[in-house]
Amino acid sequence: MSEIDAHAPLRQDVRMLGQLLGNTLQEQESPVLLELVEEIRRLAKHARAGHEEHSQKLSEKLSRLEPELLVPVARAFSHFLNLANLAEQYHRVRRRHAYQQSQRKNQRATMAELHPRLQRAKISDDQLFDTLQDLSIDLVLTAHPTEVTRRTLIRKYDDITDCLERLDSVNLSDIERNRVMATLKRKIVSAWNSDEIRQERPTPVDEARWGFVTIEQTLWNAVPEYLRELDEWCQANIARSLPMDFTPFTFSSWMGGDRDGNPNVTAEVTREVVTLARWMAADLLSHDFENLHMELSMLDCNEELRQLAGDGREPYRAVIKPLRDRLIATKGYLNARLADEEWHGEQPILSKAELMEPLKLCHRSLMECGMSEIANGELLDTIRRLNTFGVTLLRLDIRQESTRHADAMATITQAIGLGDYTQWEETEKQRFLISELTSARPLIPRHLQCDADVQEVLDTFRMLAEQSIDSLGAYVISMAHVPSDVLAVLLLQKEAGMETLMRVVPLFETLDDLEHAQATLHRLFEIDWYRQHIEGQQEIMIGYSDSAKDGGFLAAAWVQYQAQEQLTALCKQYDVRLTLFHGRGGSTSRGGAPSYEAILSQPPGAVNGRIRITEQGEVIRAKFTPFGVAIRTLQRYVAATLEATLLEQPAPNPEWREIMGELAETGMQSYRKLLREDPRFLSYFRHATPEQELQRLPLGSRPAKRRKDGGIETLRAIPWVFAWTQMRLMLPGWLGADEAFQKALQSGKGGLLHEMYERWPFFRMIVGMLEMVLAKSDPQIAAYYERRLAQPEDRKLGQELHSRLADMVDLVNSITGHSMLLQNNSVIRRSIEVRNPYLDPLHMLQVELMRAGRLKTEERPEETRALMITVAGIAAGMRNTG
């Protein structure tokens, strides 16, 4: 089947969903609205074809919309883009089914495709299986301001996807098909009549609840399903079975734990989020145990189970029922904790072992009694869920900025008469911290007088001491520069009374921090107490956002790569196993890349069977819904981590390293020259992009800036990238790389760049990410923002940037040898083309709303809401934001 034919069902789904949405507009609103929306779409389509008069008509039509039409028109185009996303997501499931049915073994990032390559590389099946069992893949869910989609709407979207899957069935009768179509229409009508945008800024708890939905809706079932699939492959291809307690996955979260620059995340908020996560785990497990109670009605059991179950006729149910009841009681206990009330009910389930041991006993008994099919059915799925999610659902990371801990230490040292800790030399700080870490006496005075910020830091550590360590992940220190930054956090944990200390993870995020990461870690490893404390395990977080914002994408990527090389070598020298935690965002300039390619692009030896990586906001739903996509994502992570561990990745030769250093230096100078030296830039950015509006809109729980004062340097990486994405210039993704590549090509290094593209996964990923960001850019849309919003004196800068963008496209095509962007990915190229006539009206409407809003002293609710809808709609259409 040709690629065009293979994707015909996707085009049919998009067309069908568009027609149903049109019917909904006509019936739920008015034929006039549908006619208006269709007219706008036709004008946009003709304008895209190059008809200038239609572009002018479109602009006039949108600028003259009646106030009461702003919201419905914006919603119509936003809804279509969301429906197109659902169709594309389901099509990924359809394509996976096609691969499975055809028995083809060439689908990338699968065990079937990887295994022959491992065999050719002389990797034995024993080595493969041992490495597989040792995998540690920790996916860390983080929030994003545009992806706080209401849970009500998420469920409707999931129902729409279910309808698409049912329509694919070849066995549907006409009556059944008509019923599915009726359900599909009803869900679209229901979504249209639901408010998709929160009217108030979401709280960190709202964001955390949103993260729980992904686990509840797909991952809870996808993980055991994928492990069953993996186990069957192992049995069929390498004659081995996965252990019952095997799971390569851990799920963590920053939602409700990331307090760096977010005053809304407090100790109380984190306590509530941890409790809510445990409640969700208890709820999901109680349903599992209810199903097991129904399933395990067998009479035969071994003597071990009989002793536990007593003389009842149905021994398995006798074991399962009390656990189910205790899980239900656990929800009551956790509700009482949330309400700060006493609990007088049944003893809650507080640890995984309380459930795991009885489940394993039931499994052993069923196996010994000849009922392996039952043992390896729902019971094994529940055991695997429990191994993956525990009784805490996920593990909450804590992130805080290093100076907040130093300020707390200074308050303590001043209170006990030792002076200001922040003024001490680094060696003096280390001596003091190690002395206190090894001391049995308490350090913090009982009635310490401190300001609100220090009190919040101390309250956070006391709150953490109350939690089970199973609920907690890593304590991440942003802006970590010196060993004392890490030691101070360990000491504050000890002083708070934590019996088991959280692992402390320094985050190296600026270019300077990344360049000095090896030296910082080396100084830590030279401390005997610290080396003994970590017991041969060290985690380091690599920041992608701030380093790219600091020096541009190209320079940041090279510094990140070198830092990982150096950290990997250092840990090998000290016989320490390193886990690299990649703080990637959704966009190119924040490290966003396909997971398979991103893992394989790491330096040789950097993966070593374990990886942590953030999955942010809009990426979470793209990777983990619907069910089939979630399984494919898990499959990709396992295959990529295995491949990066077992197959020797090509290291850059000296010539590649030299040119990469030159590219990075030129790119950084070019990037900084515009941002720091061009007097037009700040005014252009503030006026031509929606940066001002993004700060005001109630989108995410975190402030757009780390400080209220200050300029671009204080703006967070997400809104920095988000603003450029909304107006389609995509500047952070390519700025600087254009001059770097131009200089290299002019000096006759084009052949070398193409060689690097063909043979070096790291460089191939860089070029691939640039290709994607360029394909999503649109100088015509950016020019419209400039004409309508920028100051006249700033528009010349816009013209210069458009020219550089066009040159960048030619440069990338020259390196890849392609005649067009995404030449080898017609599906994504076609997806962008299909979306543009629906995106263009949202862009133009957004511009008109911004233009009107900037001229008014008072905001109108309908205009604010319409603006929020355009922001979310463009984000949906672009498929990544910040």
Catalytic residue numbers, as ranges: 144, 549
The Cα 610–Cα 602 span in angstroms is: 12
Contact 517, 566 (CB under 8 A): yes
**CB under 8 Å to 412, separation ≥6 — which residues?**
421, 443, 444, 445, 448
The Cα 521–Cα 510 span in angstroms is: 16
CA distance from start to end of the chain = 37
540 phi, psi to nearest 5 deg: -130, 135
C-alpha closest to that of 474 among 466, 464, 484: 464
The Cα 876–Cα 882 span in angstroms is: 12
C-alpha closest to that of 685 among 723, 715, 629: 723
The Cα 370–Cα 103 span in angstroms is: 32
Using CA atoms, how far residue 244 sits from 241, 308, 359, 384, 763, in Å, is 9, 21, 11, 7, 40
Q: Which amino acid, one-letter code, is at 177?
A: R
C-alpha closest to that of 856 among 744, 713, 734, 696: 696
Give the tokens for residue 840: 């263009």
Longest dimension (CA), the chain: 89
Name the 3-class secondary structure at 881: coil
Give the tokens for residue 682: 């700040």
Contact 733, 882 (CB under 8 A): no
Report CA 669 to chain centroid distance, whole Å: 30
395 phi, psi to nearest 5 deg: -110, 130
The Cα 697–Cα 861 span in angstroms is: 12
Residue 538 forms beta bridges with which residues?
578
Report CA 201 to chain centroid distance, whole Å: 20
Name the 3-class secondary structure at 852: helix
Report CA 709 to chain centroid distance, whole Å: 29
Q: Which amino acid, one-letter code, is at 224?
A: P
Given the DSSP bridges, would you call strands 472-478 and 395-401 parallel, antiparallel or unpaired?
Answer: parallel
C-alpha closest to that of 697 among 196, 201, 67: 201
The Cα 307–Cα 464 span in angstroms is: 39
610 phi, psi to nearest 5 deg: -145, 145
Please count the other Cβ atoms lying within 10 Å of the Cβ belonging to residue 793: 11
Give the tokens for residue 110: 């699968």
Residue 478 forms beta bridges with which residues?
401
Q: Which amino acid, one-letter code, is at 134?
A: D
Contact 249, 135 (CB under 8 A): no
**CB under 8 Å to 530, separation ≥6 — which residues?**
483, 486, 487, 524
Contact 143, 882 (CB under 8 A): no
Name the 3-class secondary structure at 201: coil
Using CA atoms, how far residue 568 sits from 28, 562, 605, 778, in Å, is 60, 10, 7, 40
C-alpha closest to that of 731 among 557, 879, 589: 589
202 phi, psi to nearest 5 deg: -65, 150
The Cα 826–Cα 816 span in angstroms is: 16
